[in-house]
Amino acid sequence: MTENKIFDKKEISQVLLVGIDLSQPDFYESMDELRELTTTAGGNIVGQIIQKRRSIDKNHVLGPGKLEEIKDFIKQHGINLVIFNDNLAPSQVVNIENIIDCRVIDRTILILDIFAQRARTAEGKLQVEAAQLKYLQPRLVGRRADLSRLAGGIGTRGPGETKLETDRRYIREKIRKLDEEIEKLAINRSLFRAKRIKNENLVSIFGYTNAGKSTLLNTLTNADVYAEDKLFATLDTTTRRVEFESGTSALLTDTVGFIRDLPHEIVKAFKSTLEEAVFADLVLLVADVSDEQCKEKIEVTKKTLEEIGAISKQIVVYNKCDKYAKDFDNNLLDDSIFVSAKTGFGLDLLKKKIEEFFDQSMIEMQLIVPYQNFAILSKINKDEILSFENLDDGAHLKIKIDQSNKYIKEFKKFVR
């Protein structure tokens, strides 16, 4: 299926959303998120059915009465896809489909489908395919006949029908090859990062999906990175340079957004993307200030960063102030800031905060380097040179470098 056909009207799924209320404190927020995910995937939401239960039925998830209600709703409204907010076991999917006579997918399949639509780079596509196959592998039993009849739509994109209809041995081999390719790309990226990290200030932009991270990157760096007001508009790591008034610069990296209870298969598949936070000097934790769940989503992001070992300095960026009718005073804040990536409000101050962060770790050095020692100059980045003059006794220069620079001891030998 080509990318242009994903939202073809003939293929838009008529969707019924189903949720099981077990008295979770964030249940209805989770259902709102499911609606947004479904819309992002291109589905048309026709209705929503919720059953309040003490526990999930191990065989059919819901009670027989509620399943009959769902079956009637499907017939009356032309539903061709039912999406459960919970993750379902393979046997549960088969049992439910046999009763309601309609295709059923769960939350994880929905998210994987969105990832399949939005991956742009070779690595992103490989990661999506591997995650889909690993999640679908135990769910192939009893589904082959159904899969062979599918003509596209939500939950069928990515590896494709023919791959899903092959035997388990082939799928295991396919997963192994995908993992090997992903590992090779990860090694190449690590080598590139090792080269880059020597003389660059690194900033990673993290946050809940749809918080405006790509728009922020575009505005700060005058770039044209793909940005859209939908969940998971960005899946692939994108890096651009931001220039400061002092003449220094930093590399900003936009990353895949988080959601509540992001499935383990997806976190693992996109581990390479999340690693950008581990190697960053500074993390911009972006949140939509107009979102009622703003504080909770910040905590989701912080928790994920902790899980992957990201201990970098963090600045909380409350974005989308233009959507919230309130005056914001950045003078009252320290490790956070109010901005609007869309209108530019607060962005000059944000750039100043980033610059000040890196400036705190910098030291200035006056050097006289004799001509016979000029090889040392190759270890100094041109952005780190404040002044330079060739005199009779050698090069006289003033540099500003990070205190963690691994060549600092060598530079000190030429301090005048």
CATH number at residue 220: 3.40.50.300
The mean pLDDT value for 131-153 works out to 58
Q: Do 19 and 82 reside in the same domain of the chain?
A: yes
- Which tokens belong to 90? 């393979």
Whether pLDDT at 55 is above 80: yes
Q: Do 285 and 388 reside in the same domain of the chain?
A: no
Calpha distance 96→78 (Å, rounded): 17
Band the pLDDT of 142: cuts 50, 70, 90: very low
Q: Do 261 and 394 reside in the same domain of the chain?
A: no
Whether pLDDT at 78 is above 60: yes
Whether pLDDT at 269 is above 90: no
CB of 291 within 8 A of CB of 229? no
CA angle 20, 21, 25 (to 5 degrees): 135
Calpha distance 413→415 (Å, rounded): 6
Q: Do 112 and 206 reside in the same domain of the chain?
A: no
In a domain, 384, yes or no: yes
Whether pLDDT at 54 is above 70: yes
pLDDT at residue 273, as a whole number:
58
Q: Do 218 and 277 reside in the same domain of the chain?
A: yes
Number of domains present in the structure of the chain:
3
List the 238-243 sheet strands across, edge first: 238-243, 249-254, 202-207, 282-288, 313-319, 336-338
pLDDT at residue 167, as a whole number:
61
Q: Do 258 and 315 reside in the same domain of the chain?
A: yes
Helix (H) or strand (E) holding 398: strand 394-402
In a domain, 49, yes or no: yes
In a domain, 40, yes or no: yes
> Helix or strand or coil: residue 152?
coil
Whether pLDDT at 210 is above 80: no
Whether pLDDT at 75 is above 90: yes
Domain end point (choices 341, 359, 377): 359
Q: Do 385 and 344 reside in the same domain of the chain?
A: no
Torsion of CA 244, 246, 247, 252, to 10 degrees: -30
Q: How many CA atoms lie within 13 A of 125 on its CB side?
A: 9
In a domain, 395, yes or no: yes
Whether pLDDT at 145 is above 80: no
User: Which stretch of 89-103, 132-146, 225-239 has the lowest confidence by average pLDDT?
Assistant: 225-239
In a domain, 164, yes or no: no
pLDDT at residue 325, as a whole number:
65
In a domain, 170, yes or no: no
Q: Kindly list the distances between the CA atom of residue 175 and the CA atoms of 132, 163, 263, in Å, as whole numbers in the listed order.
A: 10, 11, 18
pLDDT at residue 11, as a whole number:
60
Whether pLDDT at 235 is above 50: no
The mean pLDDT value for 297-313 works out to 77
The mean pLDDT value for 198-223 works out to 80
Mean pLDDT of the chain: 78
Tell which residue, 2, 272, 1, has the closest CA to residue 126.
Answer: 272
CB of 124 within 8 A of CB of 255? no
Q: What is the CATH number of the domain that holds 391?
A: 3.30.70
pLDDT at residue 90, as a whole number:
87
pLDDT at residue 120, as a whole number:
65
User: Which stretch of 126-130, 139-143, 281-285, 381-385 has the lowest confidence by average pLDDT?
Assistant: 139-143
Band the pLDDT of 317: cuts 50, 70, 90: very high
Calpha distance 272→263 (Å, rounded): 16
Domain end point (choices 101, 118, 135): 118
pLDDT at residue 268, as a whole number:
61
In this prediction, what percent of the chain has a pLDDT beyond 70? 75
Q: Do 80 and 111 reside in the same domain of the chain?
A: yes
pLDDT per residue as tens digits for the range 336-355: 899 998 888 999 999 999 98
Q: Do 252 and 231 reside in the same domain of the chain?
A: yes
CB of 254 within 8 A of CB of 225? yes
Q: Which position has the higher pLDDT, 273 or 372?
A: 372
C-alpha dihedral sign at 268, 270, 272, 275: negative
C-alpha 106: how far from its chain's center?
20
Q: Which domain holds residue 44?
A: 3-118
Calpha distance 254→257 (Å, rounded): 9
- Strand pairing category for 81-84 and 104-106: parallel
Band the pLDDT of 62: cuts 50, 70, 90: very high
Calpha distance 399→381 (Å, rounded): 9
